[in-house]
Structure 1
């Protein structure tokens, strides 16, 4: 993608990629809800999007002795801390996963709507409308 087009589309293209990855993680969590010992994983969407787009809110190591944050090391995917501990070691909580999945789907839809409007504006400019 050219720099001008990338700048025009803003962060929404990157948000779609990240949202797709997060949706896959959340779907895997839901599918593994009955698997003993499975550890639920998730992405901190806001922090990871800021890291990928060079935005504010990302902790930076200012000295070589500093330890990198977990999002930078693992690509943003971390383990979820459960509210209710399961006896079989599974950390998936279906209600939490479903809420997070719905929130992620809503973010994806919003990004698609913004991208659609921007592309429609470009198409109108190209046609001279």
Structure 2
């Protein structure tokens, strides 16, 4: 039962976590807009989400094959589930190609960065709202009338 609940939230959880990481990358680009030779970074959200969900599925499959935490009491809940993905590897971040290169080598274009930042913020908020509604729906289904 707990495994099914965790699987139900896997996609939303991964999407919100990746949106948060993209927010940090975009904020870093904006903060370094005046830094000479700074290269704007970003990542392909769709491909990273696909990788994260597949990683979560593999972790869930491995959990069924005996990869779970040891319980010291029979009353403890089995501790298993996918970890949130993280873009800790620098090779996952891509360089953004500027439409108009600057003389100092900086590739940050503030209009584009602000637009991407706002778009990502709206999608992040939408993801949180969807996850919250799903939680509320499941809580309502579990409560007796």
TM-score, normalised via structure 2 length:
0.71
* Alpha-carbon separation, structure 1, partners of 2:96 and 2:9: 32
Q: 1:94 aligns with which of 110, 113, 135?
A: 110
1:85 aligned residue: 101
3-state SS of 1:54 partner: helix
State the 4+ residue runs in structure 1 displaced beyond 4 angstroms. none
Sort the Cα spacing of 1:74 and 1:32 in 2 relative to 1 into closer, same or farther, 3 A: closer
Unpaired stretches in structure 2, ≥5 consecutive residues: 56-86
1:46 maps to what in 2?
46
Q: Which moved more, 1:76-85 or 1:24-33?
A: 76-85
TM-superposed deviation, 1:74: 4.2
- Distance of 2:38 and 2:92 partners within structure 1: 19
- The answer to whether the Cα contact below 8 Å between 2:10 and 2:53 also exists between their aligned partners in 1 is no
Unaligned 5+ segments in structure 1 are 56-70
Larger Rg: 2
Residues 1:26 and 2:42 are matched in the alignment: no
Secondary structure at the aligned position of 2:38 is classed as coil
1:54 offset after TM fit, Å?
2.2
